Chain A
Amino acid sequence: MSDRKPIYLDYSATTPVDPRVAQKMIPFLTEDFGNPASRSHPFGWTAEQAVETAREEVAKLVNADPREIVWTSGATESNNLAIKGAAHFYAGGKGKHIITVSTEHKAVLDTVRELEREGYEATYLQPEPDGLVDIEKFKAAIRPDTVLASVMLVNNEIGVVQDITALGNVCRANNIIFHVDAAQATGKVVIDLEKLPVDLMSFSAHKTYGPKGIGALYVRRKPRIRIEAQMHGGGHERGMRSGTLATHQIVGMGEAFRIAREEMAAENERIRMLRDRLLNGLLHIEETYVNGDLDHRVPHNLNISFNFVEGESLIMAIKDIAVSSGSACTSASLEPSYVLRALGRSDELAHSSIRFSIGRFTTEADVDYTIDLLKNKIGKLRELSPLWEMFQDGIDLSKVEWAEH
């Protein structure tokens, strides 16, 4: 084991807090530590001012009204609050049917599953092989009792960007509440909630160089969307989410989103160039497959399957870079990524997939090192692979009768 830390290429899992963000947060831990809900002294007033400034920054990034932003502990809580909150509030009027997509984040899928246990019904749409939702299939899933639809803006594994405008317009026309999980989207794609037909949108700070443990939910005011609170207590956040506000975290999210707004155009160009450099380098390796559409995709994500190498040994081979695998095979059972399976990828290709996600602190040297590492290690593992040998001999592996065990 070397003491050197691996090169970090897992920005879709989380990002480091930008040093400018960390600096801004610190005084709110030690000096300006007041409770923003304290109305009777300057400690509270200072904290409240900081919270409201941060709320404006979050709102500005997505062109919303600050009064439409509700602080939460992160995108998972935002998704829970949006989906359960709206489903509970509107079920009586409209019905108990929910539409979502099988490639959503577990925070959406598990929340919808929980509602199914409460008696709701759900349709899980399968995306097309490129990862995108077919608008006609979405329309066909709508029922008279459909109360809510939830579709993510950017997929966390394959980075594809859904056509939220088209889907939202269908929801509007059918009087369906539309929730969008945008945890992976902030700072990556332009979000204009004044134009987008979206009712509820979830955000996270730590995917955009802010701290972990803080997020927000956008709740549209015009037309007004109502949600039932999931966390009860002091009536904070206009009754939608009780709990003392974490001033330092909120300040961090505000600063992170301010930086994103000011720098994203230039930053995304730089990151796209690095991503394309990585893509071109890796495509020189034979039998590699890009997962998900490349055009409708955030600039920092690359998800590639390497055929004829096994996922866990691949991860072992590339331990000098920090990436995510499409295979949870260090656990007792082999579980290929459900997202890649939904695209129709075979178990083998799903297992041997790697998600590279590039970010603010990735350099060209990091990318070049990664390309060389992959070329070298994939070559070595294929030398070891009987499947690669059979492929080279022209054997169709799908027609082989395997001795299953």
Chain B
Amino acid sequence: MAYSDKVLDHYENPRNVGSLDKNDPNVGTGMVGAPACGDVMKLQIRVNDAGMIEDAKFKTYGCGSAIASSSLVTEWLKGKTLDQAQEIKNSAIAEELALPPVKIHCSVLAEDAIKSAIADLKSKQAK
């Protein structure tokens, strides 16, 4: 399969790989996908007291496009408010990485991961 240069770049040099402390009240963790489906994404965000995302980390089990999609969103998330982060659409991810149609689900998964991480953070902070 021919990957775009951007996918290859993120695959070869993934940004923000790692984990944040999931017990930190300012950290939201999203885990989406399933091993049997071939992709699992873990996305974590940490917000500051002003509600801005100051760090984002990911780990992804999946194809090159799934790794690239999650690597890309960690870059996009930093510096955004939760409301702005909520606005990130899979179509923008797919467009930026020039994903072929069979790989659109990777961008959908990345969007789901963002929403899942935000929901986790909000549920923690509501407590």
Write out, one digit per residue, whether chain B residues 66-84 have a CB within 8 A of any chain A CB (1) or not (0): 1100000000000000000
Q: Give the chain A neighbours of B62 by CB distance below 8 A.
A: 310, 312-313
CA–CA, A282 to B17, complex, Å?
26
Q: Give the chain B neighbours of A397 by CB distance below 8 A.
A: 35
- Shortest C-beta distance, A318 to chain B (Å), equals 13
- Given A312-B64, A313-B62, A403-B116; A384-B14 close (CB under 8 Å): yes
Of B1, B40, B64, B105, the contact of A402 (CB 8 Å cutoff): B40
**Do residues B60 and A386 form an inter-chain contact, with CB atoms below 8 A?**
yes
A135 within 8 A of B: no
**Do residues B40 and A387 form an inter-chain contact, with CB atoms below 8 A?**
yes
Q: Give the chain B neighbours of A402 by CB distance below 8 A.
A: 33-36, 40
Q: Give the chain B neighbours of A346 by CB distance below 8 A.
A: 36
- Given A332-B102, A334-B37, A402-B35; A389-B19 close (CB under 8 Å): yes
Of A331, A387, A405, the contact of B35 (CB 8 Å cutoff): A387
A316 within 8 A of B: yes
A11 within 8 A of B: no
CA–CA, A239 to B108, complex, Å?
59
**Do residues A404 and B37 form an inter-chain contact, with CB atoms below 8 A?**
yes
Interface residue SS majority, chain B: mixed
- Shortest C-beta distance, A364 to chain B (Å), equals 29
- Assign chain B's interface to a size class: 20 to 34
Q: Give the chain A neighbours of B35 by CB distance below 8 A.
A: 347-348, 387, 397, 402
Of B33, B64, B67, the contact of A405 (CB 8 Å cutoff): B33
A window 310-335: CB within 8 A of B: 310-313, 316, 329-332, 334
Q: Give the chain B neighbours of A114 by CB distance below 8 A.
A: none
Which of A334, A387, A402, A403 counts the most chain B CB atoms within 10 A? A403
Of A310, A383, A386, the contact of B42 (CB 8 Å cutoff): A386
A257 within 8 A of B: no
CA–CA, A330 to B63, complex, Å?
9
- Shortest C-beta distance, B84 to chain A (Å), equals 24
- Given A385-B59, A389-B19, A402-B40; A316-B34 close (CB under 8 Å): no
A309 within 8 A of B: yes
**Do residues B32 and A347 form an inter-chain contact, with CB atoms below 8 A?**
no
Q: Give the chain A neighbours of B11 by CB distance below 8 A.
A: 313, 316
Q: Give the chain A neighbours of B1 by CB distance below 8 A.
A: 330
A window 17-43: CB within 8 A of B: none
Of A309, A313, A329, A404, the contact of B34 (CB 8 Å cutoff): A404
CA–CA, A346 to B37, complex, Å?
12
Residue of A nearest to B7 (CB): A316
- Shortest C-beta distance, A392 to chain B (Å), equals 11
Residue of A nearest to B71 (CB): A384
B window 18-67: CB within 8 A of A: 19, 31-42, 59-64, 66-67
> Could you show 13 A-B contacts with beta carbons less than 8 Å apart?
A310-B39, A312-B38, A312-B63, A313-B63, A331-B102, A346-B36, A384-B59, A386-B59, A386-B60, A387-B40, A402-B33, A403-B116, A404-B37
Question: CB within 8 Å of A: which residues of B?
Answer: 1, 3, 11, 14, 17, 19, 31-42, 59-64, 66-67, 102, 105, 108-109, 112, 116
For the complex of A and B, list the 4 residue pairs with the smallest distance between their C-beta atoms, beginning with the closest: A402-B34, A386-B42, A312-B63, A386-B59
Known A334-B38, A405-B33; further 10 A-B contacts with Cβ < 8 A: A310-B39, A310-B61, A312-B38, A316-B11, A346-B36, A384-B59, A386-B61, A389-B42, A397-B35, A402-B34
